[in-house]
């Protein structure tokens, strides 16, 4: 992972893994992760390939037709001499109760010396992207947001 070409190749493999993700392909995606990789998002904080695979498999049991579309991808070798990093912005769409939903977010990946994902950290606003879309809870969230707005 010492050259720009290799980090770009790793970033492209990660992008392809997410954009082509299916339930049958969860194990192949998880092969991009180190054995002790950490995954953190607004609802989960787990470590290890098995736990990460469970999160992706669980996604397929909770929503219909989940799909990631990568809208930006930045890969760089850190000038400080640490491991390569990838930043991926994405749209995650799915059907819930027959309605198309979209969550917009981003992921920061850190890679280890072997080019495997050692850290996967998702950033997205659960309140705006999820809670506000739930009928009763959404009204409350929008009201709170209006009261807290400067």
Q: Average pLDDT of the chain?
A: 84
Task: Report the pLDDT value the prediction gives residue 127, as an integer from 0 to 100.
Answer: 57
Separation of alpha carbons 65 and 58, rounded Å: 13
**Whether the predicted pLDDT of 52 surpasses 70:** yes
pLDDT > 60? residue 3 = no
Q: In what order do the strands lie in the sheet with 64-76?
A: 45-47, 33-40, 117-123, 99-111, 85-96, 64-76
Domains annotated for the chain, with CATH where assigned, are 4-124 (3.10.450.50)
pLDDT for position 1? 41
| Residue 40, pLDDT score | 96
Question: 30, exposed or middle or buried, with CB in 10 Å at 0-12, 13-18, 19+?
Answer: buried
Q: pLDDT tens, 71-106?
A: 999 998 866 666 799 999 999 998 877 888 898 999
Segment 103-144, tens digit of pLDDT: 899 999 999 988 899 999 999 876 555 545 555 555 554 555
| pLDDT of amino acid 8 | 87
pLDDT at 146 over 60: no
Q: For residue 150, is pLDDT > 60?
A: no
Q: What is the pTM of this model?
A: 0.80
Contact 19, 133 (CB under 8 A): no
């Amino acid at each position: 992972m010492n050259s720009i070409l290799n980090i770009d190749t790793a970033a492209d493999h990660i992008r392809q893994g997410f954009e082509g993700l299916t339930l049958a392909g969860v194990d192949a995606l998880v092969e991009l992760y180190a054995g002790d990789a950490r995954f953190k998002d607004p609802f989960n904080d787990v470590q290890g390939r098995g736990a990460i695979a469970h999160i992706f498999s669980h996604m397929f049991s909770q929503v219909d037709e989940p799909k990631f579309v990568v809208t930006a991808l930045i890969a760089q070798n850190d000038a400080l001499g640490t491991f390569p990093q990838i930043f991926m912005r994405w749209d995650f769409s799915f059907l819930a109760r027959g309605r198309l939903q979209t969550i917009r977010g981003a992921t920061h990946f850190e890679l280890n010396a072997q080019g495997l994902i050692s850290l996967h950290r998702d950033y997205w606003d659960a309140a705006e992207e999820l809670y506000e879309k739930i009928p009763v809870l959404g009204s409350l969230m929008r009201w709170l947001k209006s009261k807290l707005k400067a």
